[in-house]
């Protein structure tokens, strides 16, 4: 029996009835991926360390959180809707005993936002319980679901993550061990999946053959060395773990009392890391390619300054994701950097919506202009992306009302013209402003004096890595993993796009 220590009611049982999920109220950004964490450390309080790891990964998902710990053959599970700090407290963590743990913080991409879909997903096998936390999105979900249903699997949730867990259980119950069964299941999965799995025998970390979503390995000091898995290095830093390396595309790492073992389960790995992880999703203090993403984002700003300079008095970024690029723009252009917008960092997701009159008068819950900085100034505002354009237009209007005489917008990525199918919610294509409008038309809609995007080549060259090793399908429509027609039709609505 799996003890679940707390459950809340589903105030909004599906996305359609949740007012936050209407297009009017959704953020004008690609929505987050998920955050995963795993640890094997019998000497430590693994539940509390997982809590802090998830706390550091909170930016990757704010809808639900969960932790599963293994105490011998017994799995303790607690998951619920809400932020990490809302789902867990000292009393709950005290019940999560064990020598290993996995955790998850979720933004829903496949499966609606409700408590049944919160992770980790736990299933029973002949070898004991299996707990799974997933970052990414499968593209062959419909096929995999049909295969599982035919074998009389009773799916509890609407997530692809649970299907992966049941696929592993199916192989294990047919006689395979944990490693063999997992690898058999992964070969049935197509799309993006960075996973941490907990079993009575140990913790597993896995990436799909393209490594679309990140997953890193850390070490805890001591004898013996203990290992940690996290979506980003910021999840290691918070608990004092040292970054060791990334889990490679198509690799499975198996962490047990014996240490860490590596298995390359895919014969044809081809690295295609999501470039949006580097531009926006991952925290700026996380390390990729041996440097912080803050450094990469500053290079993006320097590059766009070289590509599209404009005379202005000050440059500033949209907090927080546009700030590093704005600093880089200032360094390269000589335009002074200033803070033109102040962000209320205590605003989370809320079900309380402003009235129509409040919306009309421009309610500013998250960003507020600094009038004395802006008045009489020609300003350059730098942001990482524009998805629908709704927030950008309101922001430009607010800057002009604050006294800016000119507003020039610079975007540190190319136009987003295609939706993501690999674990990022970028909306259907007809809601992407750059899919239906030229840059000049977008500029007119936003009412800016000028608008320029970073070139696709500039974005990739700024990585200083092999430019073929990234997925940039949201800018090009070139998907590294083939999308089944039925899935493709759900988002790729337009026959052609304007670039």
> Which residues participate in the annotated binding site for Mg(2+)?
321, 383-384
- Apex 166 CA angle, 161 and 169, nearest 5: 135
The pLDDT tens digits of the residues spanning 362-377 come to 557 788 999 999 999 9
Please state, in angstroms and rounded to a whole number, the distance separating the CA atoms of residues 159 and 119: 10
Q: What is the mean pLDDT of residues 452-465?
A: 98
Burial of 403 (0-12, 13-18, 19+ CB in 10 A): middle
Stretch (H or E) spanning 35? strand 35-40
pLDDT of 439 over the 70 cut: yes
**For range 186-207, the mean pLDDT:** 98
Q: How far apart are CA 101 and CA 129, in angstroms?
A: 13
pLDDT band per the 50, 70, 90 thresholds, residue 390? confident
Binding residues for [4Fe-4S] cluster: 274, 420, 471, 474
| CA gap 198, 39 in Å, rounded | 9
Q: Encode pLDDT of 100-142 as tens digits.
A: 999 999 875 444 556 778 899 999 999 999 999 999 999 999 9
Kindly report the average pLDDT of the chain as a whole number: 89
* Model confidence pTM above 0.75: yes
Give all domains of the chain, ordered by start, each with its CATH number: 35-272 (3.60.20.10), 297-343+359-464 (3.40.50.2020)
Q: Output the known binding site.
A: 274, 321, 383-384, 420, 471, 474
Residues acting as catalytic residues: 34
**Segment 348-369 mean pLDDT:** 66
Least confident of 49-58, 154-163, 271-280: 154-163
CA distances from 197 to 40, 133, 339, 456, 484 (A): 11, 6, 43, 36, 27
Query: Which tops the pLDDT comparison, 156 or 343?
Result: 343
Between CA 11 and CA 450 the distance in angstroms is 44
pLDDT tops 80 at residue 499: no
pLDDT digits (tens, 9 = 90+) for 241-280: 999 999 999 999 999 999 999 999 998 999 999 999 999 9
């Amino acid at each position: 029996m799996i003890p679940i220590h707390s459950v809340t009611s589903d105030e909004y049982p599906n996305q359609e009835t949740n007012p936050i999920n209407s297009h009017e109220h959704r953020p004008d950004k690609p929505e987050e991926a998920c955050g995963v964490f795993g640890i094997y450390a019998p000497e430590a309080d693994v539940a509390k360390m997982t809590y802090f790891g998830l706390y550091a990964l909170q930016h990757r998902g704010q809808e639900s959180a969960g932790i599963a710990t293994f105490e011998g053959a017994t799995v303790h599970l607690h998951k619920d809707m809400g932020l990490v700090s809302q789902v867990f407290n000292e009393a709950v963590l005290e019940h999560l005993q064990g020598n290993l743990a996995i955790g998850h913080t979720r933004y829903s991409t496949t499966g609606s936002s409700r408590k049944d879909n919160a992770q980790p997903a736990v299933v029973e096998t002949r070898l004991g319980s299996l707990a799974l936390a997933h970052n990414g999105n499968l593209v062959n979900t419909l096929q995999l679901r049909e295969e599982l249903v035919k074998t009389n699997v009773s799916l509890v949730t609407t997530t692809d993550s649970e299907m992966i867990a049941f696929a592993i259980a199916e192989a294990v119950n047919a006689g395979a061990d944990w490693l063999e069964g997992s690898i058999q299941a992964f070969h049935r999965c197509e799309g993006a999946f960075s996973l941490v799995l907990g079993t009575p025998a140990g913790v597993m970390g896995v990436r799909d053959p393209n490594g679309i979503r990140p997953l890193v390995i850390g070490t805890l000091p001591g004898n013996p060395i203990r290992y940690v898995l996290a979506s980003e290095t910021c999840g290691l830093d918070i608990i004092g773990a040292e970054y060791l390396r990334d889990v490679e595309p198509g690799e499975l790492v198996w962490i047990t009392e014996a240490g860490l073992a590596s298995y390359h389960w895919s014969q044809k790995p081809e690295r295609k890391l999501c470039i949006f992880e580097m531009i926006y999703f991952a925290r700026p203090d996380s390390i990729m390619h041996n440097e912080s993403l803050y450094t990469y984002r500053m290079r993006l700003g320097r590059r766009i300054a070289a590509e599209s300079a404009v005379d202005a008095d000050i440059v500033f970024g949209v907090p927080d994701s546009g700030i590093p690029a704005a600093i880089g723009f200032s360094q390269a252009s000589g335009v002074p950097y200033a803070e033109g917008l102040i962000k209320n960092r205590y605003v989370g997701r809320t079900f309380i919506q402003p009235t129509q009159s409040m919306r009309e008068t421009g309610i500013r819950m998250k960003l507020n202009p600094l009038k004395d900085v802006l008045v009489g100034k020609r300003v350059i505002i730098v942001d990482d992306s524009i998805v629908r354009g709704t927030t950008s237009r309101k922001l430009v209007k607010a800057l002009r009302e604050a006294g800016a005489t000119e507003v020039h917008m610079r975007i540190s990525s190319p136009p987003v013209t295609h939706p993501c199918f690999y674990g990022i919610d970028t909306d259907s294509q007809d809601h992407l402003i750059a899919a239906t409008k030229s840059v000049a038309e977008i500029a007119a809609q936003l009412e800016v004096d000028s608008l320029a995007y970073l070139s696709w080549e500039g974005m990739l060259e700024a990585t200083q890595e092999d430019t073929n090793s990234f997925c940039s399908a949201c800018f090009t429509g070139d998907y590294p993993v083939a999308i089944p027609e039925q899935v493709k039709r759900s988002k790729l609505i337009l026959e052609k796009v304007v670039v």
